[in-house]
Structure 1
């Protein structure tokens, strides 16, 4: 049974539209939105001396057209150096940092397709891959394999929304925070980026951008529906009146899910207000609220996935021979103490997600305020403060997590356009601080109930904070060459204390702790993140770039208290992971209707943090691999050969190997022995070598059928390893989707625009793996030697790993602009 825990239902969204629509009569045409690659094409830009010092009132910033946008005319003037167009200089440094390997994706390109998760927005950025997390909108985003080994949420990537960080100080981000219909576009920063974004940006960063009130200019209401009970009612309401711009988005989403026991119910509110207080002062207010309830199925072994990918009929398991294939071969499960008390001598029960009621009941609230002050036309000071509260109740497996994590994030920076040694330059310097302090509880789950919990297993009090400074110089060495130097320095402090409990199994004292242990942690990490790049416009059609950069990611408190056995205990030797890499690439636009972008990268990791699962009912643990290499190629093609026709495609190649890593594995008692396994030269698990996405579309540009269109899309991911020993492989997949849509202006009272679409996903009804967590290799004692087990044993016993992707499904929707 699904629990009703939400802010409001679909009817409330409709009511909100009616209440606010009186202020939304006029309509403003939205700009054409296109997929883009790295830097914007060269544009004319004044020298510093030519810049006016007059104060400027707030106007919703226009996007600098990135290299991937096909709506830009040929450059009439190449006087400005790359990165020094007036449009780009008017934006914050982080929006389109010169020299960064960078992609802009604009949501208007995907207006005619159901957008269930952020995957639909991000899948046309090269270098980005995805897997399903713990929940319907919890998509694990990976840039160059950086977060691919995470079981839920996003790590090793900093997430922002409208420039406000939504990555908490412990480095965790969640993509189910908001509905992707709220966004106008997404900026993707690929490669180590700590010089600009600080801790945890060792893989890159992503900035989601919501629509301004001026862009909405009225009411945009939509409804999407489809197979497996999917229903989303959403509305965006916005207006710019005088010096005030307000945009409010709200949605209500329900789904039954294609996997047994995966229903969900999510409500979201996202609001942004901008107030031009004076010609020199702009205040921006940000509010996000997300309430999620979702039933959660158990992850499967590879053998279970092949036998029963959607866990049909997984109500109750037979208990005879708990370790046998008959008991666990068909269904995901967790082995939990029958009385909820962990400890020696407890009687366990192998339960299912349905029987125990595994679920997530989470709330997230974000409040942000930013003040921007212009000292003059060339100097801007920005200061912002964010309060971010995450409250979770998660009986998701053998244990349940309960935690309220409030956090604060503050930053201040100054940007000035001036000169350096006679060259035109943009100077940037800033300070930042973020901190979280929380108490979390880990309880045993009971074998039956609605997520009911047993005795307390562990309690953790933790504080984590980051304090840093960053600076950046962008210098136009000539009209064709721009150089960038950047550096961040940061101190991370973790102070935590974990208590663990075990209990006497029988008798009158059954509820009393039999033992107690406390593990203190008090660690300080110092990190530096340099960056240097050169951008050269070799010809008017060809923009090249070379970048060398570094990123870092410290451990978070939760990683320091889970041992390699997947239970609570000290893991305090975990080190900061560092990533140093180089990028070389180009953007080539031989004509207005064709863009080709290609980037090669080579990154050296030290102490890479790898997370894997020792088995069902146990917690994922993290360890360091001393040395590894990530290298590959990213390509983007955007081509409009004939009016109305468009071809979009991207391809990523990832070759990631261990260069220095010896893994210690042991056999179980009695007769336990330890073995050492050299993983040097082995593939890093959970990184697909090849991923590709392609779409061919046609939209009728004129006549009676203007706006009628269709597309066919193909998504491919190659096979990859799940374990450090490269024994177990996940099968590759290729999915075909097809879409038919109508998108056109109308004049019918207040109704200004209508969009309708229908889509079939996974037309060929393939079984495919949407998510697979790393699993630990197992070993056996053979003739006195510790031997690594083979494929069959790992496929059967490597549980707690896999979620199946969607079968063939149908989705559609309508949108109305008033």
Structure 2
């Protein structure tokens, strides 16, 4: 029997892990540098990185370090801090994907819109092509993930942020439901960091144009920062234009040293045209879907979608993305507030509430969804610094409640005449609520050893129904699917950190995560149509992390982490065919394992090199897939097969130089390479999409303007994909099928011609811009 695809990878991966296990990591760098795998040890004072000292709490106008949140420096977690230098400040980073690839273990794919990127941590969510799941997203300590586990990055403009922390591995003990893959915490630039106002513009290939401004300052007890941007582009594919506007406000008021109030407001609007997702065969012929204005005169390789001629049933007509007017018109509004109170010098209590409403109108492919997802969250927590059995300790406890009201109507699309609606397909109403508590203790066992113990428990209630309607010449056939379920989950965590000296830190961690199914997944059948899929179970994982951080020189920081995670009932989402809805199922058992490595080295004055590498080896250990066609049914054992959508290797490497002094001070440049391995598209591992390597180059100039009206001028120019490599930016995993005649599994040639999967990545592009600070 031949080995399973990729079977040679796992022994090599484990051998590499054992060989590199004594490797290293790092402490936090200067505030505007990239810090890898930040590890902090709790002492009698606030946790702090040895290199940088305490950092300010999220969104607090009080003196830096006055009351840092538990997510600022959690001891024992696997965290990468991404700063502004060479990532945001001196380059036209209009999408968050360009930023997050700087963290080991992060995979980025194109979503359905210009800034709608799909981010996964350690391969979790790598199979998605739209909504972000299996991670929790925060901004300034406020939840950006709705209570049903959905996040989107349409509202995320990188220029608003001063730092982004990526938490890797199971994080439910710290963040609760949906943190099976990890968490991402964004930190907005505060008023003190801005201290004035800035205006800027980026422009480049394919009609991209981004205007943005930032204003911020602090006066007495008040501090405020406001960011706004207007981003537009024509797109590098036919029917790929878009525009999106974002406003992001962070304001705080400190009436007394022990009371702090914070206000957070984010609003984003999006209007985007969407090209059709092609098959692998079509991608090879016409990757950018050009010449596809009309189906009757379409160029070879154009993707068409079959829509019911009457919008309900019967005969269909093929349409292109232009003819179908596929697109998204969405709005997201978040308003949240927090009160922080220092009960005494060692105890801080917080109370925060937030409202989050996602409104959408998405007429793309065979259906059009319209709905509103209003939600709210309430969190109260307390942090206490004291002693446990005479040992310095930091204790944290939190209670949270969140709820979301999902209301969505799904219509058939009708051809021509713009985004016309056909017959109503389904009407879904569901309410989900989550009530949980979390506790965590960090104890300094000695000067070298720190122990961490955490746990969370959460109950989720999900109640709803969906009416579906099937149309024929005989009339309408309605059907009803109800769900009324509750899920109780508990997630413990144990970690140890050992610092033998100031250059080394060793860490070990055992943690768990859980993610309950969302209503949207419960009402889509394996046929890719609305219906009953209400038997989904909670996804859980148990993860082991072992790593080391090493900083032998002040300007050299290295990091290495090995992980092994065991999943039960893992959520796997795939497409049953062109234009159909992606559906989710539980894979009974699977394993994820791999390596994450990072390095940063300022090896000479002005020179800096950076690298981030991730290896993922993910496979089913127990899963039998049942496929049917006509009157035939067959079962296939997928144990040992690689999980589709997850690349085995990914690497970012960058080297740059900035003139440190003299007349040309502030002039700099860097080149970087981004590599991503290919991955399988199906559970049988029959069809694999190719990987890619992208080369980017940047030149920038940043200088003070002495005596001028403006304070500072920044100029930058960047060439992306220098070699004009044709790549796959996104690929929806495909469902395998069998022959209705023989009952045998169809081969790779059938999958290769299945549309609804692939978006091509951007070809060579040139983007430049400027920013003035006043």
TMscore range, shorter length: over 0.9
Match of 1:100 in 2: 77
Match of 2:356 in 1: 388
For normalisation by structure 1, the TM-score amounts to: 0.88
Aligned partners of 2:39 and 2:77 also within 8 Å: no
Match of 1:806 in 2: 762
Match of 1:359 in 2: 327
Match of 1:36 in 2: 35
Alpha-carbon shift at residue 185 of structure 1 (Å):
1.0
Aligned partners of 1:683 and 1:726 also within 8 Å: yes
1:490-525 CA-to-partner distances (Å, cap 9, x unmatched) read: 00011011001123438xxxxxx5211111110101
Match of 1:21 in 2: none
Match of 1:789 in 2: 746
Which residue of the other structure, out of 727, 730, 753, is the alignment partner of 1:768? 727
Separation in 1 of the partners of 2:600 and 2:50? 12
- Mapping 1:173-184, distance limit 5 Å: 173-184=151-162
Alpha-carbon shift at residue 661 of structure 1 (Å):
0.4
- SS, match of residue 120 in structure 1: helix
Alpha-carbon shift at residue 336 of structure 1 (Å):
1.4
Aligned partners of 2:40 and 2:74 also within 8 Å: no
- SS, match of residue 716 in structure 2: strand
Separation in 1 of the partners of 2:740 and 2:479? 32
Match of 1:20 in 2: none
Aligned partners of 1:36 and 1:66 also within 8 Å: no
Match of 1:815 in 2: 771
Match of 1:226 in 2: 204
Which residue of the other structure, out of 104, 108, 128, is the alignment partner of 1:126? 104
Instruction: Evaluate the alpha carbon distance shift between residue 617 and residue 189 of structure 1 in structure 2; reply closer, same or farther with a 3 A threshold.
Output: same
- SS, match of residue 225 in structure 1: strand
Separation in 1 of the partners of 2:50 and 2:418? 50
Which residue of the other structure, out of 418, 427, 433, is the alignment partner of 1:459? 427
Separation in 2 of the partners of 1:383 and 1:429? 12
Match of 1:578 in 2: 540
Match of 1:153 in 2: 131
Instruction: Evaluate the alpha carbon distance shift between residue 350 and residue 66 of structure 1 in structure 2; reply closer, same or farther with a 3 A threshold.
Output: farther
- Mapping 1:399-798, distance limit 5 Å: 399-505=367-473, 514-667=476-629, 669=630, 672-781=631-740, 784=742, 786-796=743-753, 798=754
Instruction: Evaluate the alpha carbon distance shift between residue 32 and residue 708 of structure 1 in structure 2; reply closer, same or farther with a 3 A threshold.
Output: farther
Instruction: Evaluate the alpha carbon distance shift between residue 177 and residue 246 of structure 1 in structure 2; reply closer, same or farther with a 3 A threshold.
Output: same
1:312 matches 2:290: yes
1:382-414 CA-to-partner distances (Å, cap 9, x unmatched) read: 110000011000001100010111100110000
- SS, match of residue 206 in structure 2: coil
Alpha-carbon shift at residue 781 of structure 1 (Å):
4.4
Match of 1:340 in 2: 311
Separation in 1 of the partners of 2:64 and 2:225? 23
Alpha-carbon shift at residue 573 of structure 1 (Å):
0.9
Runs of 4+ in structure 1 deviating by more than 4 angstroms, as ranges, are 40-43, 63-67, 86-89
Separation in 2 of the partners of 1:664 and 1:42? 50
Separation in 1 of the partners of 2:184 and 2:698? 27
Match of 2:166 in 1: 188
Alpha-carbon shift at residue 568 of structure 1 (Å):
1.1
1:260-290 CA-to-partner distances (Å, cap 9, x unmatched) read: 1010011110001000022211000000010
Alpha-carbon shift at residue 221 of structure 1 (Å):
1.1
Alpha-carbon shift at residue 180 of structure 1 (Å):
1.2
Alpha-carbon shift at residue 313 of structure 1 (Å):
1.1
Which residue of the other structure, out of 284, 298, 302, is the alignment partner of 2:262? 284
For normalisation by structure 2, the TM-score amounts to: 0.93
Aligned partners of 2:39 and 2:79 also within 8 Å: no
Alpha-carbon shift at residue 328 of structure 1 (Å):
10
Separation in 2 of the partners of 1:252 and 1:391? 19
Which residue of the other structure, out of 347, 350, 364, is the alignment partner of 1:379? 347
Separation in 2 of the partners of 1:748 and 1:305? 55
Moved more, 737-746 or 424-433: 737-746
1:408-445 CA-to-partner distances (Å, cap 9, x unmatched) read: 01100000001111111111111001001131100011
Aligned partners of 1:32 and 1:108 also within 8 Å: no
Separation in 1 of the partners of 2:316 and 2:76? 57
Aligned partners of 1:336 and 1:617 also within 8 Å: no
Separation in 2 of the partners of 1:708 and 1:293? 37
- SS, match of residue 517 in structure 1: strand
- SS, match of residue 711 in structure 2: strand
How big is the alpha-carbon RMSD for the aligned residues of Structure 1 and Structure 2? 1.9
Aligned partners of 1:178 and 1:288 also within 8 Å: no
Which residue of the other structure, out of 259, 268, 274, is the alignment partner of 2:246? 268
Match of 2:59 in 1: none
Separation in 2 of the partners of 1:646 and 1:534? 32
Alpha-carbon shift at residue 95 of structure 1 (Å):
1.7
Separation in 1 of the partners of 2:699 and 2:582? 42
* Structure 1 unaligned regions, length at least 5: 1-29, 52-62, 76-85, 320-326, 507-512
Separation in 1 of the partners of 2:722 and 2:310? 47
- SS, match of residue 485 in structure 2: strand
- SS, match of residue 646 in structure 1: strand
Separation in 2 of the partners of 1:792 and 1:594? 49
1:420-479 CA-to-partner distances (Å, cap 9, x unmatched) read: 111111111110010011311000111113222111110001101111011001111001
Aligned partners of 1:603 and 1:631 also within 8 Å: yes
Alpha-carbon shift at residue 100 of structure 1 (Å):
0.4
Alpha-carbon shift at residue 538 of structure 1 (Å):
2.3
Aligned partners of 1:40 and 1:66 also within 8 Å: no
Alpha-carbon shift at residue 41 of structure 1 (Å):
5.9
Match of 2:3 in 1: none
Aligned partners of 2:167 and 2:183 also within 8 Å: yes
Alpha-carbon shift at residue 120 of structure 1 (Å):
2.0
Task: Count the aligned residue pairs.
Answer: 737
Which residue of the other structure, out of 193, 210, 230, is the alignment partner of 1:215? 193
Alpha-carbon shift at residue 356 of structure 1 (Å):
1.0
Aligned partners of 2:290 and 2:299 also within 8 Å: no
1:315-357 CA-to-partner distances (Å, cap 9, x unmatched) read: 22249xxxxxxx9962222211111114xxx111121111010
